[in-house]
Amino acid sequence: MQTAKAYSAASATSPLAPFSLQRREPGPHDVQIQILFCGVCHTDVHIVRNEWHGTTYPCVPGHEIVGRVVKAGAHVKKFKEGDIAAVGCMVDSCRTCENCKDGLEQFCQQGATFTYNAPDKISGGMTYGGYSDSIVVDEAFTLRVPKHLDIAATAPLLCAGITTYSPLRFHKVGKGQKVGVVGLGGLGHMGVKLAKALGAHVVVFTTSPNKVKDAIRLGADEVVNSKNEDEMKKQLNSFHFILDTVAAQHDINAYLALLRRDATLTQVGVPAEPLSVHVSSLIFGRKNFSGSLIGGIQETQEMLDFCGEHNITADIELVPIQKINEAYERLVKNDVKYRFVIDMASLK
């Protein structure tokens, strides 16, 4: 075992603070990564504060990891020392169930091993995430980063990127389609960039008039104030696909009404309370309401390669680890455009 420096939460109400943890020595199929940057996901806040009621403490969050390989096991084929590598939301799965064999490790029937706050089937205890200076991961769950992308701005692609890319690809979004993105935050701004790169006509729905210019800058063709009934009525029955990234309570039926016949709205934001869906919103038009959770390892690599081809990264604000608690408070207030990324060089 080897000691790594990190920041952890000791309880749901305590601030993140310096912490030492033990990482396993790299095995023959493992890579050891010196973490250079780690994105800050809203999921981190939910789990650190036990808002989803399943946190084990101490908790070291972080599942948007980019770093440099410092050691590669004898049987590792994809990486060598010095390579830039990435780790997303998962570090293992059973690899033998139907879902894993289909490349959908996020739906592993035995339960995927998530990057933090999950039972560690190799070392015991719980997994610790990317708010640390190093991590050891099986190469099968380690990803290649396109060489020309800014690596700090690439970090959020490991969660926000794949969370929005996966449903866009699954529903075959492309040229000639009208696609809506509800909400322009950490997820929404990635949804806009990716849907536009896939060739769609992109419409952003926001309740914030001050986000109109930014939505256009990010690639939106139209911006609709979802509080304006007249603007919403103009969009009725016109969308091939809508990606809803809002994690707060909102009227989902108002957006289902905007779908064309047989079209789909996919929810990726996770509101704390259930959304109320009127069945009539679905049956008139044979419409679909679905959900989506990140993507498998193969699809995540496909997403990174796609972003490399189209020069897509997240819009970020770089912060030192010492300001992580301040970043959490700002994140809760939506005071970031659009993702915080921790510069791990600050972890001394």
pLDDT tens digit at each of 348 positions of the chain: 899 999 999 999 999 999 999 999 999 999 999 999 999 999 999 999 999 899 999 999 999 999 999 999 999 999 999 999 999 999 999 999 999 999 999 999 999 999 999 999 999 999 999 999 999 999 999 999 999 999 999 999 999 999 999 999 999 999 999 999 999 999 999 999 999 999 999 999 999 888 999 999 999 999 999 999 999 999 999 999 999 999 989 999 999 999 999 999 999 999 888 999 999 999 999 999 999 999 999 999 999 999 999 999 999 999 999 999 999 999 999 899 999 999 999 997
Please tell me whether residues 8 and 147 are part of one structural domain. yes
Please tell me whether residues 29 and 153 are part of one structural domain. yes
Distance linking the first and last C-alpha atoms of the chain = 20
What is the rounded CA–CA span in Å between residue 57 and residue 95? 28
Give SS3 for 319. Answer: strand
Please tell me whether residues 17 and 149 are part of one structural domain. yes
Residues spanned by the domain of 224: 161-291
Q: What pTM was estimated for this model as a whole?
A: 0.96
Instruction: Select from 248, 263, 291 the last residue of a domain.
Output: 291
Please tell me whether residues 333 and 252 are part of one structural domain. no
Number of independent structural domains in the chain: 2
Domain containing residue 253: CATH number: 3.40.50.720
Please tell me whether residues 201 and 338 are part of one structural domain. no
Please tell me whether residues 268 and 177 are part of one structural domain. yes
Please tell me whether residues 23 and 146 are part of one structural domain. yes
What is the rounded CA–CA span in Å between residue 149 and residue 304? 10
Instruction: Name the residue among 105, 73, 69 with its Cα closest to residue 88.
Output: 105
Say if CB 128 and CB 1 are below 8 A apart: no
Please tell me whether residues 89 and 66 are part of one structural domain. yes
Give SS3 for 2. Answer: strand
Please tell me whether residues 172 and 228 are part of one structural domain. yes
Please tell me whether residues 63 and 195 are part of one structural domain. no
